[in-house]
Amino acid sequence: MTTHAVNGGAMTGHQDCGAVTIFLSIAVVGLLALAGLVVDGGAKVRAVQRADRVAAEAARAAGQAVDLRDVLAGQSLGVDRREAIAAAEQYLRAAGVEGTVRVVQGGSGIAVTTTTSVPTVFLGLVGITTFRVRGGAEVALIDSSRGARP
């Protein structure tokens, strides 16, 4: 066994050579994974919030298409199905979001489901290039003269 003097101390052999490099490599990979979860996870949360917001606004736009014939005839409040679906789909197109629109609750409500994608930043390094998220909202028409839902 050989003994080498280094800075006044004794070192036996070269057993620790490269240990710092391996540790640093593992630590950097771990930090990149953590950064990926934070940055890309935050982007996914914002994308879900946007998908929900766009769905709610599309449903509100559809809710403006009240069937006036029924209202004037004194019948229960409902939407004009064709106009309501067209209004919601137009809003979705303008927002650049895919989605589906349904008239629910016997014609007195609108349900909108949206889907969108968001690209990843760090997770693309491990093959996850996008997140696909869904959002949704449902609105119900309320007859304010009666103070309740139709």
Indicate whether 6 belongs to any domain: no
Residue, of 90 and 25, whose pLDDT is higher:
90
DSSP character at residue 119: E
Q: Is 106 left (phi over 0), alpha (psi -120 to 50) or beta?
A: left
Indicate whether 75 belongs to any domain: yes
pLDDT of 114-146, one tens digit each?
999 999 988 887 788 999 999 999 998 876 665
**Tally of domains in the chain:** 1
Q: Which of 19, 2, 21, 22 is nearest to 11 (CA)?
A: 2
Indicate whether 123 belongs to any domain: yes
pLDDT of 57-98, one tens digit each?
999 999 888 877 766 666 677 788 899 999 999 999 999 999
Question: What percentage of the chain exceeds 70 in pLDDT?
Answer: 77
Indicate whether 4 belongs to any domain: no
- What lies within 8 Å, CB to CB, of 114 at 6+ separation is 51, 52, 54, 55, 58, 92, 97, 98, 99, 134, 135, 136
Indicate whether 102 belongs to any domain: yes
Indicate whether 8 belongs to any domain: no
CA 108 to each of CA 77, 92, 114: distance values in angstroms, whole numbers, following the listed order: 6, 20, 20
Indicate whether 148 belongs to any domain: no
Residue 111 has pLDDT above 70, yes or no: yes
Confidence grade of residue 51 (pLDDT, cut at 50, 70, 90): very high
* Residue 47 structural domain: 15-140
pTM over 0.75: no
